[in-house]
């Protein structure tokens, strides 16, 4: 009778493989070729004019072309390096997370396409996360440099995406419903892949085609909260408050329709089914978690330990969008910072393995080779391997260098651009 204990390295490999498979299954639910065809509108009497913005915009354009047998034309904008070949729809590329000149040019082109639509035409807007930076038309009196400065300051402050996008809407000529107003009276239908906590339409890429419940006063309060006092034209613009975003009673939104075609909740549901098939009881913490990545990581470690005491095989799943307040000089993103904080708090406990990734394949700063990194994975021997490699986990966390930490260990998760974006994916395996 063989009474030898299980081989830890073999168990780690099995857990790693399961975590990666579950992540891939989750991402697959939101791929444009899966979700776009189910929500296409009937053919209009006139033209179908396509606009779009986001990390999934090129793939959404491809899916539309493959499933639309009538005439269409237009343009979409995606992140640099995320372009895909299309036949009838032009694919533009621009900067993310900080807008660049391509972002402004793309926004002006989208506004032009919307304004060209007649009453018999239909404007179809293909929307996904990342569109706020990719489609940046400064409001009158502001420059692209003004918007870049505010974006950088907000990203470094640790502000949640909902607050960042509130400010963006009030500095823009296209966000906050203004694209839909530009298309009026032509109907405009938005097909949206959600990447925001709560799936609020106005928060996805700062809501170019929907009413905005926030105000200039809200935007001013956010900058004050994070002690951001410039550039001066931005402060003056928000103070003057002469061009409020579109509200529910704006007639320019009368012909606008919004269709949510993929959500973070569906991504987590697919992961849950895969884990249960593998024999795990799942605990779902929600698809809308927000907060400081390192704090949430430590909190989840405490929660995982509680579940471990109950015994059995358990998987803790969560989504949402965490943030990082940048105080150090390292590389990384919220998912890797969460994973590093989780590893430190679990302190080599052999009962836990975990993964934390951004479903778009790009978690904050790129790797040392300039390529995108989706996130990181931890195993029971993460800290011991780090020590053997001369790495100090706590020092890496203090320097916001979770990226360098996981890269040195070979535990960075690299997927390449996934051509979709339903936000963060986190899974802790117990037992």
Specify the pLDDT at position 6: 46
CATH 1.20.120.1200 is held by the domain 32-262: no
Structure-block tokens of residue 397: 């966390």
Would you give the DSSP letter of residue 419?
S
Q: Is 185 helix (H, G, I), strand (E, B) or coil?
A: coil
Specify the pLDDT at position 365: 87
Are the C-beta atoms of residues 231 and 146 closer than 8 Å to each other?
yes
Are the C-beta atoms of residues 363 and 399 closer than 8 Å to each other?
no
Specify the pLDDT at position 3: 44
Specify the pLDDT at position 242: 84
Which residues touch 189 (CB under 8 Å, ≥6 apart)?
A: 41, 122, 123, 124, 125, 256, 257, 258, 259
Beta strands, E only, 186-249: 188-193
Are the C-beta atoms of residues 115 and 213 closer than 8 Å to each other?
no
Structure-block tokens of residue 308: 């471990």
Which residue spans of the chain are classified as CATH 3.40.50.10180?
Answer: 32-262
Stretches where the chain sits below pLDDT 50 are: 1-6
> Taking the complete model, does pTM exceed 0.85, yes or no?
yes
| Measured distance CA(123)–CA(209) in Å, rounded | 11
CATH 3.40.1480.10 is held by the domain 8-29+265-430: yes
Which residue spans of the chain are classified as CATH 3.40.1480.10?
Answer: 8-29+265-430
Which residues touch 338 (CB under 8 Å, ≥6 apart)?
A: 293, 294, 296, 297, 300, 322, 356, 426
Task: Taking each helix axis as running N to C, give the angle between helix 161-169 and helix 216-225, from 0 to 180 degrees, rounded to the nearest 10.
Answer: 130
- Residue 394: Cβ within 10 Å count: 11
**CA nearest to 235, candidates 165, 141, 96, 164:** 141
């Amino acid at each position: 009778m063989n009474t030898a204990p299980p081989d830890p390295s073999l168990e780690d490999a099995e857990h790693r493989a399961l975590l990666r498979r579950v992540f891939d299954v989750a991402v697959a639910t939101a791929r444009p070729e899966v979700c776009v065809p189910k929500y296409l509108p009937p053919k209009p009497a006139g033209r179908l004019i396509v606009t779009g913005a986001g990390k999934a915009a090129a793939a959404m354009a491809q899916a539309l072309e493959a499933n639309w047998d009538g005439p269409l034309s237009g343009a979409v904008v995606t992140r640099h390096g995320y372009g895909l070949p299309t036949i009838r729809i032009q694919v533009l590329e621009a900067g993310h997370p900080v807008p660049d000149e391509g972002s402004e040019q793309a926004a002006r082109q989208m506004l032009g396409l919307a304004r060209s639509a007649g009453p018999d035409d239909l404007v179809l807007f293909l929307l996904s996360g990342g569109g706020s930076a990719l489609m940046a038309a400064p409001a009158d009196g502001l420059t692209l440099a003004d918007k870049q400065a505010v974006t950088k300051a907000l990203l470094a402050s640790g502000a949640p995406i909902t607050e960042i996008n509130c400010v963006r809407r009030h500095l823009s000529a296209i966000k906050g419903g203004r694209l839909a107003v530009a298309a009026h009276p032509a109907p405009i239908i938005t097909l949206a892949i959600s990447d925001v906590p709560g799936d609020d339409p106005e928060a996805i890429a700062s809501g170019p085609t929907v009413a905005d419940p926030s105000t200039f006063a809200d935007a001013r309060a956010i900058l004050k909260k994070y002690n951001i006092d410039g550039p001066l034209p931005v402060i003056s613009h928000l103070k003057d408050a002469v061009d409020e975003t579109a509200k529910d009673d704006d007639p320019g939104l009368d012909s606008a329709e919004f269709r949510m075609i993929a959500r973070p909740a569906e991504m987590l549901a697919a992961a849950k089914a895969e884990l249960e098939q593998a024999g795990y009881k799942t605990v779902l913490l929600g698809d809308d978690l927000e907060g400081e990545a390192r704090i949430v990581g430590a909190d989840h470690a405490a929660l995982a330990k509680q579940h471990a005491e109950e015994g059995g095989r358990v998987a803790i799943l969560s989504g949402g969008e965490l943030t990082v307040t940048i105080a150090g000089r390292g590389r990384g993103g919220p998912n890797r910072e969460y994973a590093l904080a989780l590893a430190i708090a679990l302190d080599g406990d052999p009962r836990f393995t975990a993964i934390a990734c951004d479903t778009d394949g790009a978690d904050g700063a790129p790797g040392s080779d300039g390529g995108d990194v989706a996130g990181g994975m931890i195993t029971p021997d993460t800290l011991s391997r780090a020590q053997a490699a001369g790495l100090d986990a706590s020092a890496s966390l203090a320097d916001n260098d979770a990226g360098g930490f996981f890269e040195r260990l070979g535990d960075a998760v690299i997927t390449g651009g996934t051509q979709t974006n339903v936000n963060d994916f986190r899974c802790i395996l117990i037992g």
